[in-house]
Structure 1
Amino acid sequence: MSKITFLGAGSTVFAKNVLGDCMLVPALEGFEFALFDIDEQRLRDSETMLKNLKRSLNKNITIKAYLNRKDALTNAKYVFNAIQVGGYKPSTVIDFEIPKKYGLRQTIADTVGIGGIFRNLRTIPVMIDFARDMEEVCPNALFLNYTNPMAVLTGVMNRFTAIKTVGLCHSVQVCTRDLFKTLGMDPEGVQEKIAGINHMAWLLEVKRNGLDLYPEIKQRAREKQRTKHHDMVRFELMDKFGFYVTESSEHNAEYHPYFIKSRYPELIENYNIPLDEYPRRCEKQIQEWDAMRDDLVHNISLDHVRSKEYGSRIIEAIETDVPFKFGGNVLNTGRLISNLPEKACVEVPCIADRSGITPTYVGDLPEQLAALNRTNINTQLLTIEAAMSRKKEYIYQAALLDPHTASELSIDAIISLCDDLIAAHGDWLPKFASSDTFAISN
């Protein structure tokens, strides 16, 4: 029996999307779907839900929950990862509230920025533990990572472990469709080319029947900017740098030094930036889960329609040898994007088939786009240095190089903020060695 393991299976709604998709793939008949989570109640909820879905769909698969991670991984062919180390409380709350005391505001805080750095630092050791287990009990498995911060975590798995890893995000497959919906344009028959880094990949080409659609897109976007809407940051970036970026405006507002500035508070209103968006979203999801839990978990007539997630389609392509093209996060080995660092994790078109995952060569990005990507890659690579060396100086340097943090705070304030976050996260972080080089000046 072949096996798909889901780490973080207590994310019941997401487990339904990803494993429900897999149930709809004929080539996966007879597979075991192995579930693991450190929260046993949430794990049992997902097990019950998936067993109901299996019966409703009349599928020949096995659903099994495990309390031991290594047992869940043993002999797995594919491993999905959807964990959140430290959860909303205490860790995400810490990532937002302590920076606020320094006047540093965030929207999502899960990619770069001070919140992204610390989410990485508490997640990387867990990912390395996953890899060590997999190297022992399923060394040839494909690791499909959905956990943020995507670029750093996928980069760590590919650089420092023997596990084949690809990072998967929703932003590529919805980028053009959502842009056209916002602008009232028809997406039918559109050809696109997207590449960059996760959450900051670029719509490099968008055509229909060979006709470049960017002139019309930009004209409509400029007209749209006359009134408030949800995508004002991305439209501003497109206007000034020439290309549309894949991830949402609330994300990109904190990836750049231009939009969230205490000296210019009017920018928040002008660009319609939702500060503290992620904590509000978490609180809403907690309330919604309490209301929907019984209907989802104990619904014996539960149904499923295949979602937009790439995971099941990648596995189907590998099992059937029918190629599938998708936007994947992989190491920039051989300079897939030639003007980005080789150690960076890049988001490029990839092909899945029986041979596995094959990323495609992109070449140079337009120089202004590569420059914007490098501002985030700098922080990503220094965060990896911090995690792997356990030296505080690299934490400080990662924060000092972050575009938004550096645009708001002084060197001393950034170092002090990092120290406060290290103390507040406590045992959620590994121990880091101090450096006299970074003493705060008087």
Structure 2
Amino acid sequence: MKIVLVGAGSIQFGLGTLGDIFTSTTLKGSEITLLDINANALDVVLQTTKDFIQAHKLVYTVNATTDRRKAFQGADFIISSIEVGNRFQMWDEDWKIPLQYGVHQVYGENGGPGGVFHSLRIGRVILDIVKDAMEICPNAWIFNYSNPMTAICTTVKRMYPEAKFVGMCHEIGWLGRWLPRMLNRDLKDLHYRAAGLNHFSCMLSLTDRKTGKDLYPEVLEKAEAFFEREPGYSDLYDAYRKTGTLDAAEKFEKEAVSQKSAYEWADRRLVQFMLKNYHLLPITTDSHFGEYLSWAWDIVDHRGILDFYDVYKVMLSQEVPHEIRLETSERVIPIIDGILGDANYEEAAVNIQNNGLIADLPSWLVVEVPAMINKTGVNGIKMDGMPKGFLALLRSYAGVYDLTAEAIIHRKKEYAIQALLANPVVNQASSLEALLDRMISKQEKWLGYLQ
């Protein structure tokens, strides 16, 4: 097998994914190609990896290149995690410039106008990556970790419908942190399913694996007391300001905590609202779920969102130890193992084209659903009986993804403006063209293609 890591110069992604690969018995003996545009960063990861392979007497070969087309030769699996430009400078612009133009978006990474700009910026680059893959290794599986997930995946599948392109996100890992402690049960005894759009998904069912008992009523009964003092990012940031230390990792498995929060419903005011009004448990926090809702501004934990952003900047900016750990921190390698070994197991969340998996959403839209993993690939599980209230919220954002994809593919400013006009977070129209022009001028290198 040949595995290519796109963006491998990132210490967190590169060395973290290598640790995942080295825990696999199925992939033993594989060739690993590290790809990045930063040759110096790439060399650090390469030398660390070679030393680790030698020290642990592992049966892998590893090489590195800045030449994408060379890297893709003979690839079976491509795992990509990239960002473009000055990450935090542009995220600041995505978030704060729309606020100046009168748009009350609670965050600006994946939803709202900021999410549109982020999608327009990174979408063209990822289309170029997939174009090379389709020409050089068209049968390779491509796993994407970059955000905005739904916009990227929807655009890729529209441009390259034959691509084996799967989006991966670890937000569903929150359920593994919350549910066992809330219900006083072992995680292995709980079977949950969630679905929706990336960062905009809710748990739809929860049963006891042994008895088949429906446990959702127990969640609705116990959630209020559980979440009221569940620690959040404000607690994490308070601790960082006192100690100067912060765990640099953000893994699929969210670590359990025992302390009580200094804040009520920290990061999870929308969780409270959704439980009360929709009887559904979102799988993520205010900063993510709130990006897609016109009324989120009125409800979310604003302090928690600001502290989340500061924590995230620290997490991604601080010096990271140059070390590889033999542990599974994300889900992509188990999925690859499952495909190669025909495991036929259920994966909790993947982002794939809908095609009827959620009947009341467009077929072209990429949705986040559980999937069966076997030799035929990543096979989404049909989610019947989705609550109509939640579906209405999901449908209200689908048009944004449609028009964002059209803007990226056809390079048209007109479609970008229409994506903003379709966005439920936008509540005024007169300044949108000026807002887009301002963003294009600030991010000319990445948005200048829009005509």
Query: Structure 1 length as normaliser, TM-score?
Result: 0.87
Deviates further, 62-71 or 156-165: 156-165
1:113-262 to 2 correspondence within 5 Å? 113-161=112-160, 162-172=162-172, 174-180=173-179, 183=182, 185-188=184-187, 189-208=189-208, 209-224=211-226, 228-230=264-266, 231-261=268-298
1:416-435 to 2 correspondence within 5 Å? 416-433=434-451
- Equivalent position of 1:440 in the other structure: none
Distance in 2 separating the partners of 1:110 and 1:400: 18
User: Cα deviation per residue 1:31-66 (whole Å; 9 max; x = unaligned)?
Assistant: 111111112222222222322332343211111110
Distance in 2 separating the partners of 1:276 and 1:402: 22
SS at match of 1:254: helix
- Equivalent position of 1:373 in the other structure: 394
SS at match of 2:179: helix
Distance in 1 separating the partners of 2:147 and 2:390: 22
User: Cα deviation per residue 1:236-287 (whole Å; 9 max; x = unaligned)?
Assistant: 11211121112222211222122315xxxxx55xx35534456423431355
Residue 187 of structure 1 deviates from its aligned partner by 4.2
5+ long unaligned stretches in structure 1: 262-266, 434-442
Deviates further, 141-150 or 227-236: 227-236
- Equivalent position of 1:439 in the other structure: none
- Equivalent position of 1:305 in the other structure: 327
Distance in 2 separating the partners of 1:184 and 1:284: 33
Distance in 2 separating the partners of 1:22 and 1:430: 38
Distance in 2 separating the partners of 1:111 and 1:372: 16
Residue 77 of structure 1 deviates from its aligned partner by 0.3
Shift of the 183–121 alpha-carbon distance from structure 1 to 2, 3 Å rule, reads: same
Give the conservation status (yes or no) of the 8 Å contact 2:440–2:448: no
- Equivalent position of 1:81 in the other structure: 80
Give the conservation status (yes or no) of the 8 Å contact 1:150–1:198: yes
1:238-387 to 2 correspondence within 5 Å? 238-261=275-298, 267=299, 271=301, 273-277=303-307, 279-289=309-319, 292=320, 296-297=321-322, 302-307=324-329, 309-326=330-347, 327-333=349-355, 335-387=356-408
Distance in 1 separating the partners of 2:109 and 2:385: 27
SS at match of 2:443: helix
SS at match of 1:274: helix
Residue 215 of structure 1 deviates from its aligned partner by 2.3
User: Cα deviation per residue 1:388-424 (whole Å; 9 max; x = unaligned)?
Assistant: 2222222112112222233xxx211233222211221
Shift of the 338–143 alpha-carbon distance from structure 1 to 2, 3 Å rule, reads: same
- Equivalent position of 2:430 in the other structure: 412
Give the conservation status (yes or no) of the 8 Å contact 1:168–1:329: yes
5+ long unaligned stretches in structure 2: 230-263
Distance in 2 separating the partners of 1:179 and 1:369: 21
One-letter amino acid of the counterpart of residue 328, structure 2: R
SS at match of 2:431: helix
Distance in 1 separating the partners of 2:443 and 2:308: 18
User: Cα deviation per residue 1:319-374 (whole Å; 9 max; x = unaligned)?
Assistant: 222223212111112x1110111111111121222222222222341111111111
User: Cα deviation per residue 1:264-322 (whole Å; 9 max; x = unaligned)?
Assistant: xxx55xx3553445642343135522xx3xxx32x5xx532222x11101111122222
Shift of the 202–159 alpha-carbon distance from structure 1 to 2, 3 Å rule, reads: same
Distance in 2 separating the partners of 1:375 and 1:277: 28
SS at match of 1:284: helix
SS at match of 2:435: helix
Number of equivalenced pairs: 411
For the aligned residue pairs, the C-alpha RMSD in angstroms reads 2.2
- Equivalent position of 1:101 in the other structure: 100
Shift of the 369–187 alpha-carbon distance from structure 1 to 2, 3 Å rule, reads: farther
Shift of the 226–62 alpha-carbon distance from structure 1 to 2, 3 Å rule, reads: closer
Give the conservation status (yes or no) of the 8 Å contact 1:155–1:345: yes
Give the conservation status (yes or no) of the 8 Å contact 1:108–1:277: no
- Equivalent position of 1:32 in the other structure: 31
Give the conservation status (yes or no) of the 8 Å contact 1:152–1:380: yes
One-letter amino acid of the counterpart of residue 50, structure 1: T
Deviates further, 77-86 or 317-326: 317-326
SS at match of 1:171: coil
Give the conservation status (yes or no) of the 8 Å contact 1:81–1:147: yes
Distance in 1 separating the partners of 2:345 and 2:401: 29
SS at match of 2:304: coil
Residue 430 of structure 1 deviates from its aligned partner by 4.1
Give the conservation status (yes or no) of the 8 Å contact 1:193–1:206: yes
Distance in 2 separating the partners of 1:132 and 1:287: 31
Distance in 2 separating the partners of 1:198 and 1:3: 28
One-letter amino acid of the counterpart of residue 233, structure 1: L
Distance in 1 separating the partners of 2:336 and 2:206: 28
Identity of aligned residues (%): 27
One-letter amino acid of the counterpart of residue 201, structure 1: S
Distance in 1 separating the partners of 2:373 and 2:17: 17
Distance in 1 separating the partners of 2:86 and 2:284: 23
Shift of the 244–89 alpha-carbon distance from structure 1 to 2, 3 Å rule, reads: closer
Distance in 1 separating the partners of 2:106 and 2:14: 26
One-letter amino acid of the counterpart of residue 395, structure 1: A
